[in-house]
Amino acid sequence: MNCYDCVLDGTVAPAVAVCSRCGSGVCLDHVRVTAEHPHRVTGTGVATLSGTARRATCATCRAAERT
């Protein structure tokens, strides 16, 4: 799989991750990796787990989440 953003730029680079939001393949230059605390629905509320998880997104989805 190739990086979707690179293809749009007219180049080709192998994807190293898949965006967790839109599913596009992303290369090392375009991937945005963040740490987040997973949540689990428990009964009538949500419990935040103590560990952190890695989350990979493309630059487009990352920018959309910040607005």
Distance CA 4, CA 8 (A): 6
Question: Would you state the pLDDT for residue 40?
Answer: 73
pTM of structure: 0.75
Between vectors from CA 18 to CA 28 and to CA 32, what angle results, nearest 5°?
A: 45
> How many structural domains compose the chain?
1
Region 31-49 average pLDDT: 78
Distance CA 47, CA 32 (A): 26
Burial class (CB in 10 A: 0-12, 13-18, 19+), 35: exposed
Distance CA 41, CA 33 (A): 24
Residue 45's pLDDT band, with cuts at 50, 70 and 90, is low
Question: Would you state the pLDDT for residue 36?
Answer: 83
pLDDT at 32 over 90: yes
| Domain range enclosing 35 | 4-66
